[in-house]
Amino acid sequence: MAKRYDVIVIGGGHNGLVTAAYLARAEKRVLVLEKRPRVGGAAVTEEIFPGFKFSMFSYVVSLLRPEIIRDLDLPGHGLHILPLESTVTPMENGDYLAAWADHDETRRELYRHSPRDAEAYDEYGRLMHFMAQAVKPILSMVPPDPTSFAPGDLAALLKLGKHFRGLGAERLHALVKLMTMSSADFLDEWFETDVLKATKSASGIIGTFLGPRSPGTAYVLLHHYMGELDGVFRAWGFAKGGTGAVSEAIASAARSFGAEIRCDAGVSKVLVKGGKATGVVLENGDELLAGTVVSSLDPRRTFLQLLEPSQLPDEFVSDIKRFKFRGSSGKVNIALDSLPTFTCMPDGGPGGRLHRGAVSISPSLDYVERAYDDAKYGEFSRRPYMDIVFPSMIDPGMAPPGKHVMSIFVQYAPYNLNGGWTDAKREAFGDAVVNTLEGFAPGFKSKILHRQVITPLDIERITGLSEGNIFAGELALHQLFFLRPAPGWAKFTTPVRGYYQAGSGTHPGGGIMGASGRLAALRILKDGT
Amino acid sequence: MSLRTTPFHPRTAPLSEGQAWRRWAGYVVASSYELSHDREYHAIRNSAALFDVSPLYKYLITGRDAAQLLDKVVTRHVAKAKVGQVLYTPWCDNAGKQIDDGTISVLNEQTYRMTSADPTLRWLHLNASGLDVKIEDVSEKTAAVSLQGPRSREILQLAAQQDLTSLKYFRLTPARIRGIPVTISRTGYTGDLGFEVWVDAAQAVPLWDAIVETGTPYGITPAGMLALDVARIEAGLLLIEVDYFSSRHALIESQKSSPYELGLGWTVATDKEQFNGKDALLREKKQGSSWQFTGLTVDWDSLESLYAAVGLPPRLPSQAWRTSVPVYDGGGRQVGYATSGGWSPLLKQYMALVHLESQFARPGTELFMEITVEHRRKAARARVTPLPFFNPERKRA
Amino acid sequence: MSDARYDAIVIGAGTNGLVAAHYLARAGKRVLVVEQREVPDPAADMGWIPPQVLKDLRVPGLRIEEPDPWLTVPLPAGGTLELSRDMGKSVEAIRRVSPADAGKWAEFSARMHTLASVLERLYLAPPPDIETRDPRELARIGGLGLYVRRLGKQAVIDLARVLPMSIAELLDDWFESDALKGALGALGIWHLKQGPRSGGTAFNFLHHHVGSPAGVFRPPRSNSTQALSELNGVELRRGQRATVLARNGRATGVVLDGSGDAVLAPLVVSSAPPRSTLEPIAMELDPEFAWAVRNIKARGVVARGTYAIGTPPDFWNLCFAPSLDYLERAYDAVKYGRDSGAPYVEVQRTNGRVELHVQYVAPGAHQGLTEAVARVLNARPDQITLQPADESLYHGELTLDQILFMRPVPGWSRYRTPIEGLYLCGSGTHPGGGIPGAAGRNAAREIV
């Protein structure tokens, strides 16, 4: 008879690890089972080419909850998030738009493009600050079920209603707009500079199968402002050692609280007896028992793969089947002999700061929209939107001295490519990325030492994320809050007693936030195991 | 990239003895040129001090409806102003809360120059819909120096070869200084006799040279922001972001103020047709404001005794301060707060600009201002003083 | 100097303007209606007229058409799919294109009808005031909440899930036939500068379903504008464009373009678009409010027109929208400022005319638009007359950010404006275009 655990956590991605750490901290005997040889899921650092380390999938730490950093003492376990200071968008005409760390400098840069936009930028920023403040409490609450008549739900709904009314009319209206509009339309009200709108709206499409003119993309604009409320220097940061270091720090914290983490241990089934989870079966056939089982995998695998449909209500099964993934992004990781030179800023800006920040390939709204058009009809973007960082400029340990690594997040690459993904198509996709970039940085191609191209299909194969969706399920309005992942089951519980969900496919989901994992752990502790 | 320098920078940079610069609207300007700002301050009240005020935001508003636009935006009556007049005025949002304050110069019937502390272009455009008006941001195109002090008129008269005795307070005149076309306005931020000279940015350096050369025998002294700050407190002049928050930047309602609450009730032309905030301001005028903005003078004996209690002589602030300091009534209840303060070297007074609940704002009311003496918070007796603290006759004469 | 002849002036003699005018007249007001057209628009009025309006105003000569079959869809392999008012008939017709879809038709129809009934309830009154502290309004909102809850758990979930969805996602969840999805999806994009994959188009679909029986996804049409023009009780002045007059925050009347005459009245009610009503008096407005008015999205994407077909056609409503992708591609063009090369076209036989609804058109020259429509219809260009609209015929697109308490601008949804005595009652206000008379009636009731 094997060792008995209080809780088994399926999946050693950052959310699974956060859940495990919080549970272990509460003195539960916790086992984490990770299919891959290393923890992290989509937040891993790998040395793909000798001497060159890459944050293979997820590459920026956007909204890692500060309470998690404090509660788990992640800096004590090696976490150091370094700021990404700027964003430069090269334009097709050889000019650029830059947002720098300094307000005066950014204002002046915007003024160059449009004096009015430079002013609107401040007022827009103030509104977004309020909006982030309005939304923030929602991220750390368990979504109430509006269809339920339970006193707890009614009270929570009432509280939510009060919160929104407390915002005042003006801000409430702005919030409605933000939740329903397209980022292009929302930004149109404020700005006239196309490249500014393109770059801002590009942050609204990341991970979605939507274009900047699609309604429902505006609220993601908030993410940039959310971090500042937590006293974080910038919303976007880069973890020293890559995003894998985030996972390693959380894993280390979990272990320090007594959690056991087993890699190369894929789970094939969750054991259910009498409607209650009792443990798991590993891919190698071993059975492990526990009073509570938590899946941090995405909803499709959590319910349709680890359980039998007969163990779940029919309506729930069809809701989960309807849950949309539609992976839309790919990644190109490049080892560089030297830094590329961008036509728009040949000297790399003052102090070479261009390469210390992000480079956004979003020269115009139409450019990004056309990239989406390709994907809509099942092709990868011939000229894709790209978000580029040079991690070795921020953390020199990522590449051999003098050499560099370059991380290119690419959109759109539809999971359901016409005719399906093949090796040849993967390389064609990689070529589209490199060739597009060559246009903005001539000579870039000749500096490439190695190239790794990752399609949504690769993301699915390697990390398990269904359809390669980086958020474990689209962050669309109808898949958020009490609808994430399914109506009635947004509170981290599942129709199977003792079986919980903790991944990004639950509220609030998305990015390396860890909020889902934490809320799930708190829920489990509240229920008692 | 990096910070901008003003068109006078080639002349001001070599003057800086301590490299004491500060930011103003994205530019660098001198905090003080000399290592101590004392002499620069005294020049304002004794001879003439020369300030680089180029970072002010400047807009040129032209066209048939220019006055109509400005009259919708600001609280004073612009259409009534004559060519050559300069108006100091605040402007408000629809709730009658102040957005900013600045000046409007009537250059001719259809041409106005507006200055502001915050960028105002967007706000002007928002208000201009349907109007036949052109709004041009001339902030970068136009440089400005301010010459302030009892001898400023003599210097400028010589430099411009033009009689300025007839140029009245808040009036302007076109002029030429060594052939450079300029506008001279009798305005300033010191509450003293003084002028501002507006010039095309390309001609800034020769203008500076002309004024400095002419003024040297009269004791002209380039001066920085530290000296100016003391003078403007003596003059009881508001500073945005310090003494009040723009209603468009305020994060919460209580951070906003109306002109009535800032001692600017005199600028609200209630008889004017519709303008932003009119209804709210009329209401406030009728009902009275809950706050007043006024001066406070710290009682010397009280200050001295607080320090004496720990065995120290009174310690005075060496520069004007800009932090929020609580003000209490005799019972220890907070009834307001000071937003700027400092020692007046001329008046030998510790003065502060304060926001007070209206019933405590009557001149002469005895209150207490918080003073930190050797790490401990104390309260020094103080008296409500009407603004300005210093108001020489020469200002208007 | 007040002109004592009128208590109220209504701008615009469309259905909403006339409905508002007659409600005001019935409340004892002397009403002048000013209309810029010389004669009433002969085109049919599309949309469900709330029965309350019919009952209250009893308009003689009003004819409402409820075509059956309500839609005829040409099939790529030849033949047509005919959707009828009779549920069984529709199911049989759908079975010929997809047995699976036929099996779902009844449930789909029922679910959509339930959701539309929620909207119907919301549309017959001013939108709920979410900021209110007034106990009566709170009770009304509470009642609405209760009504929705009583429809059952499924309806609550559907409401939250479906409204923000795209019509493509919604239809893909239910059906497989491209022909059926295209024909239904077209209703979701009516008068929107959005494609079927854009979020919120499912709401637009439901909006246009309001008032129809289950399983009918095209609104009825009528001659309401014409019939109301002939109704006695208000003075109607044609051929003159009126601009609002306001001073010191108060409406004083209108000025008639051309003559320049002012007509004074203490109450001005405009059924014209909010933007064109309010922009001339921008000086009277809070700049923030004026900014919100300027930001109303009212982009014209539709051309209405006529089709000289020769022999009277044997259909009521012929829909050319062969698939959701077809609609989406038609939309792609307009995103980049071009008319659709292969537009969505619907041919409507009504009132002795054959009318056209063409989408999408972009503001501008419209070169080749007639030819493109002719290609779709397999007709000659000279048979087709089109009037592309640069501004939304609904005076504001029905996107989720521009409905209910956000329409026409956030915070001013109850037909009032910051100008005392000036009201709005057109399609630009709640509940918006496609429900003729609802806004007019709500506005008049709010005024009285």
| Residue among A105, A119, A130 minimizing CB distance to B122 | A119
- Between β-strands B86-92 and B98-108, what pairing exists: parallel, antiparallel or unpaired? antiparallel
From CA B277, how far away is CA B94, in angstroms rounded? 4
The arithmetic mean of pLDDT across residues A241-258, rounded, is: 97
Give the per-residue pLDDT at C137.
87
Closest-approach residue (CA) in chain A for C200: A215
Cα–Cα distance measured from residue B18 to residue B33, given in angstroms and rounded to the nearest whole number? 7
Yes or no, beta carbons of C287 and B123 under 8 Å apart: yes
Task: Give the chain B residue whose CA is nearest to the CA of A167.
Answer: B252
* Average pLDDT value over all residues in chain C: 94
What is chain B's percent helix, strand, coil content, to nearest 5?
A: 25, 35, 40
Q: Quote the CA–CA distance of C253 and A309 in Å, as a whole number.
A: 69
User: Which stretches of chain B sit within 8 Å of chain C by CB?
Assistant: 68, 72, 93-94, 123, 126-127, 129-131, 273-274, 276, 279
Percentage with pLDDT > 90 across chain A? 74
Residue of chain A whose Cα is closest to the Cα of B136:
A115
Interface of C with B in 294-313 (CB under 8 A): 294
Q: Sorting pLDDT into bands at 50, 70 and 90, what band is A78?
A: very high
Q: How far apart are CA A420 and CA A416, in angstroms?
A: 6
Query: How close B283 gets to chain C, by Cα (Å)?
Result: 15
Residues A55-76: b if buried by 16+ CB within 10 A, e if exposed: bbbbbbbbbbbeebbeebebee
> Helical H runs in A403-455?
423-440
Q: What is the pLDDT of residues C428-443, one digit of tens each?
A: 999 999 999 999 999 9
**At residue C395, what is the residue type?**
H
3-state secondary structure of C281: helix
The predicted pLDDT at position A2 comes to 56
CB-based contact, C411 to chain B, within 8 Å: no
**pLDDT beyond 50 at B372:** yes
Does pLDDT of C262 surpass 50? yes
CB contacts < 8 A, B to C, total 31
Distance of CA C46 to the CA centre of its chain: 8
Q: Could you give the CA distance from residue B287 to residue B265 in angstroms, rounded to a whole number?
A: 13
Q: Mark out chain A residues that contact chain B at CB-CB < 8 A.
A: 100, 104-105, 107-109, 115-116, 118-120, 122-123, 126, 129-130, 349-350
Confidence of residue A229 (pLDDT cuts 50, 70, 90): low
- The CA distance from C131 to the nearest CA of chain A, in Å, is 6
Residue B148 has pLDDT above 70, yes or no: yes
Most confident of A114-128, C6-20, C358-372: C6-20
Query: What is the DSSP-derived secondary structure letter of residue A4?
Result: P
Query: pLDDT of C234-259, one tens digit each?
Result: 999 999 999 999 998 999 999 998 88
Examine the pLDDT at B1 and tell me if it is beyond 60: no
CA A289 to chain centre: 32
**Least reliable range by pLDDT among B93-107, C213-227, C245-259:** C245-259
SS3 A304: helix
Q: Would you state the structure tokens that stand for residue B156, as one six-digit string?
A: 């400028």
Residue A234 has pLDDT above 50, yes or no: no
Nearest-CB residue to C279 (from B68, B93, B130): B130
Q: Which residues of A touch C411 (CB under 8 A)?
A: 169-170, 173
The pTM assigned to this predicted structure is 0.93
Per-residue pLDDT tens digits for A407-449: 999 999 999 999 999 999 999 999 999 999 999 999 999 999 9
Nearest chain A residue (CA) to C157:
A487
| pLDDT the model gives residue B345 | 96
In the predicted structure, residue C211 carries a pLDDT above the cut 80:
yes
Q: Which residue of A has its CA nearest to B250?
A: A126
Q: What is the mean pLDDT of residues B247-255?
A: 91
Pairing state of beta strands C45-46 and A52-55? unpaired
Structure confidence at residue C150 (pLDDT):
87
Give Cβ neighbours of residue A155 (< 8 Å, ≥ 6 apart).
none
CA angle C169, C175, C178 (to 5 degrees): 90
A227: pLDDT strictly greater than 70: no
pLDDT of residue C1: 42
Contacts of B179 (CB under 8 A, 6+ apart): none
Q: Are A99 and A87 in contact (CB under 8 A)?
A: yes
The Cα of C279 is separated from the nearest Cα of chain B by a number of Å equal to 7
Between chains, do B276 and C248 touch, taking CB under 8 Å as contact? no
pLDDT at residue C303 is higher than 80? yes
Q: Which of C248, C279, C288 sits opposite B94 (nearest CB)?
A: C288
Q: Is A182 on the interface with C (CB under 8 A)?
A: yes
pLDDT tens track for C53-77:
999 999 999 999 999 999 999 999 9
Contact A350 B119 (CB under 8 A): no
Question: Is the CB of residue B252 less than 8 Å away from at least one CB of chain A?
Answer: no
Specify the amino acid at residue C65: E
Measured distance between the N- and C-terminal CA atoms of chain A, rounded to whole angstroms: 21
Chain A contact for B126 (CB, 8 A cutoff)? no
Q: Is the N-terminal amide bond of A456 cis, ω within 30° of 0?
A: no
Q: What is the mean pLDDT of residues B203-214?
A: 98
Chain B residues with beta carbon closer than 8 angstroms to that of C249 = 274, 279
User: Which residues in B lie closer than 8 A to residue C287 (C-beta atoms)?
Assistant: 94, 123, 126-127, 276
Task: Tell me what the pLDDT averaged over chain A comes to.
Answer: 92
* pLDDT (0 to 100) of residue B2: 67
- Looking at residue A509, what is its pLDDT? 80
Encode pLDDT of C33-49 as tens digits. 999 999 998 899 999 99
Contact C287 B127 (CB under 8 A): yes
Average pLDDT over residues B283-312: 97
Mean pLDDT along residues C256-272: 93
Task: Please indicate whether, in this complex, the C-beta atoms of B1 and A105 are within 8 angstroms of each other.
Answer: yes
Structure tokens at C71: 């839609």
